Amino acid sequence: MGTTIMVLNGPNLNLLGIREPGIYGTETLADIESICKRRGEKLGLEIDFRQSNNEGELVGWIHEAGRKADAIVLNAAAYTHTSVALMDALLSVGLPVIEVHLSNIFRREDFRHHSYVSKAAVGVICGLGSHGYELALEALAKTLNTTQEA
Ligand code: DQA
């Protein structure tokens, strides 16, 4: 069995490309999915890439990841700052989690400075746009030991 990473995206990220491009850039979520799949292939990782605007659906996918995946990359978007339910789900499944944000949440409004997801994450990457997703996959490949080369 290969190594599977569930890459989960929260609310409004389906609108990337048209949503506040000055903050989030012009890449679409489909572009980010392609970037993740390309990088995953190089790293020997299977990428299961999903997006939902619904908190409960994200909780269900985290539970599913606990049964089927080896790690989670999560951009919980606005739920980052509000969701005890997502934090509890992540802590329940106990998989390695890397939290990603396209924007640098610490340069933005105060309410974005707190993350419930961080309490369940091994690492956090923010402010680097879609490259942050690639860096998260690289970090996981290293931790999970899927890459052949040094
Ligand atoms: C975001 C940052 C969040 O504060 C915001 O609610 C988002 C996107 C990011 O990727 O920069 O929707 O997670």
**What CATH number is attached to the domain comprising 134?**
3.40.50.9100
Per residue in 10-40, pLDDT (tens digit) is 999 999 999 999 999 999 999 999 999 999 9
* Residues with a known catalytic role: 24, 101
Residues 6 or more apart whose CB falls under 8 angstroms from that of 149 comprise: none
The answer, yes or no, to whether any atom of ligand 1 lies below 6 A from the CB of 80, is: yes
Spacing, Cα 127 to ligand 1 middle (Å): 10
For the chain, what is the total number of helices (H) and then of strands (E)?
5, 5
Does residue 87 lie within any of the structural domains? Answer: yes
Q: Which residue has the CA at smallest separation from atom 9 of ligand 1?
A: 101
Does residue 97 lie within any of the structural domains? Answer: yes
Does residue 132 lie within any of the structural domains? Answer: yes
Between CA 121 and CA 91 the distance in angstroms is 9
The confidence score (pLDDT) of residue 145 equals 83
Does residue 123 lie within any of the structural domains? Answer: yes
How many structural domains is the chain composed of? 1
Interhelix angle for 29-43 vs 131-144, to 10°? Answer: 30
Does residue 112 lie within any of the structural domains? Answer: yes
Spell out the alpha helix ranges (H) of 11-75.
21-24, 29-43, 55-68
Give the residue among 9, 93, 95 at the shortest CA–CA distance from 55.
9
- 149 pLDDT higher than 60: no
The answer, yes or no, to whether any atom of ligand 1 lies below 6 A from the CB of 28, is: no
Between CA 92 and CA 71 the distance in angstroms is 13
Query: What is the mean pLDDT of the segment spanning 74-97?
Result: 98
pTM, rounded to two decimals: 0.96
Per residue in 110-148, pLDDT (tens digit) is 999 999 999 999 999 999 999 999 999 999 999 998 765
Place of tokens 């005890």: 84
Spacing, Cα 2 to ligand 1 middle (Å): 30
Give the residue among 149, 136, 147, 150 at the shortest CA–CA distance from 5.
136
User: What is the residue range of 16's domain?
Assistant: 3-143
The token pair that represents 94 in the structure block? 């106990």
Q: Is 130 left (phi over 0), alpha (psi -120 to 50) or beta?
A: alpha
Q: Which atom of ligand 1 sits closest to the CA of residue 77?
A: 13
